[in-house]
Amino acid sequence: MKILVTGGAGYIGSHTVTELIQEGFQPIIVDNLCNSSVKNLEGIRSVTDTIVQLYNVDCTNEIEFKEVFEKEKDIVGAIHFAAYKSVEESVREPEKYFQNNIGSLKVLLKLMEHFEVDYLIFSSSCTVYGTPDNLPVTEEAPFKKAESPYGETKQQCEEILQSVAIKSISLRYFNPIGSHSSGLIGDCSADKPANLIPIICEVAKGVREKLIVNGNDYNTIDGSCVRDYIHVVDLAKSHVAALKYLIKNPKKGVFNIGTGKGLSVLEAIQCFEKANKTNVNYEIGPRRDGDVEEIFSDNTKVEKLLDWKAQISLEQAMQDAWNWEIKK
């Protein structure tokens, strides 16, 4: 089964492409490499012994994107990763985010309708929940005012998906971390890391002097913020599970994709240090604007319906994150 994977050269996309191949699907990548590189494609080739077709096309370019559908006649479904993802940049340049993140989805939906491609898996985010009223957060929790234009694009994309005929599943990822155990596939983003675990890796490597912990006066276990960190390979596998489910149950759905366990920033540092037998230099700084105090996933729905569960331990995720950092 031929599956179109937009953003398939990116961090989560490349891991998903690997899992798709291992599960017998034929992924076709559409990625303009604006935030990745062919390094991940070489990694996919080494790990799976398969050369994946890449179309270096911008998904907002309808004419070029249409040519992909024309060439690859029998596409069964699509997984849409292509988007910009920097929360901080989205605050500075919101229009760029609305154009790319919403624009690419609209073009994809139009082409899917035209070429009668029925199934879509969409990369959403737990950011749609803002600060939830109840924990763990379930899929029924309402959308809160988005913390950023990036978050708003995810909310709007989910709303668009509810309004069209195409059957889709939105996967609301919690915090993806780690890399493929081979150390050959990972986050190839050119930007300076902005997420916690990549920053911890840079500090451990000596590229950065120290980590600033964004506040220790929250109402949490140790005062630092709590998140649900999920290994990217577990996350990748959830796409295959969602795709198989959607093909069997052609209707709309949303699922949380997390581990169900919260970890504080200070616990994450300790876990990294223990897993990698190294020290992370840190100091406590002020709170970060717009940070959610605590969020972690209720996995009841996904475990029941998709028959998927995160399997990889946090220690392993920290080791794999470090392995990518030292190899890259």
Should residue 125 be labelled a site residue for ligand WQD when binding is judged by CB under 6 A? yes
Structure tokens at 194: 């902005």
Should residue 9 be labelled a site residue for ligand NAD when binding is judged by CB under 6 A? yes
Provide, rounded to whole angstroms, the least separation between the CB of residue 85 and ligand WQD.
5
CB-CB contact of 176 with 235 (8 Å): yes
Choice between 5 and 265, CB closer to ligand WQD: 265
- Work out which of 265, 302, 312, 318 binds ligand WQD, going by CB under 6 A: 265
82-110 in b/e form (b: 16+ CB < 10 A) is bbbbbbebbeeeeeebbebbbbbbebbbe
- Work out which of 105, 211, 233, 275 binds ligand WQD, going by CB under 6 A: 211
Only one residue has tokens 């005012």, namely 145
* Residue 87's binding partner out of ligand WQD, ligand NAD, none, with CB under 5 to 8 Å set by partner kind: ligand WQD
With a CB cutoff of 8 Å and minimum separation 6, the contacts of 284 are 212, 213, 215, 216
Should residue 195 be labelled a site residue for ligand WQD when binding is judged by CB under 6 A? yes
Should residue 100 be labelled a site residue for ligand NAD when binding is judged by CB under 6 A? yes
Q: Which of 150, 218, 229, 245 is catalytic?
A: 150
Q: Please, what is the angle between helix 196-205 and helix 265-276, to 10°?
A: 40
Stretch that binds ligand WQD, among 18-26, 68-76, 189-197, 311-319 (CB under 6 A): 189-197
Should residue 297 be labelled a site residue for ligand WQD when binding is judged by CB under 6 A? no
194-214 in b/e form (b: 16+ CB < 10 A) is ebbbbbbbbbbeeebeebebb
Query: In a 3-state reduction of DSSP, which class is residue 108?
Result: helix
Structure tokens at 37: 């590189």
The long-range contacts involving 65-69, CB below 8 angstroms and separated by at least 24 positions, are 65/30, 65/107, 65/108, 65/111, 66/111, 66/114, 68/4, 68/28, 68/30, 69/4, 69/111, 69/114, 69/115, 69/117
- Work out which of 47, 54, 59, 243 binds ligand NAD, going by CB under 6 A: 59
150 is catalytic: yes
Neighbours of 242 (CB within 10 A): 25
Closest chain position to ligand NAD (CB): 10
- Work out which of 18, 90, 123, 148 binds ligand NAD, going by CB under 6 A: 123
Cα gap 107→66, rounded to integer Å: 9
Provide, rounded to whole angstroms, the least separation between the CB of residue 277 and ligand NAD.
26
- Work out which of 17, 18, 27, 35 binds ligand NAD, going by CB under 6 A: 35
Stretch that binds ligand NAD, among 53-61, 207-215, 283-291, 302-310 (CB under 6 A): 53-61
Phi/psi of residue 288, nearest 5 degrees: -95, 135
Should residue 76 be labelled a site residue for ligand NAD when binding is judged by CB under 6 A? no
Choice between 51 and 194, CB closer to ligand WQD: 194
The residues annotated with a catalytic role in the active site are 150
Residues of this chain that bind ligand NAD (CB under 6 A)? 6-7, 9-13, 30-36, 58-60, 81-83, 85, 100, 104, 123, 125, 173, 176, 187, 189
Residues of this chain that bind ligand WQD (CB under 6 A)? 85, 87, 125, 127, 175, 194-196, 199, 211-214, 225, 227, 265, 288, 291
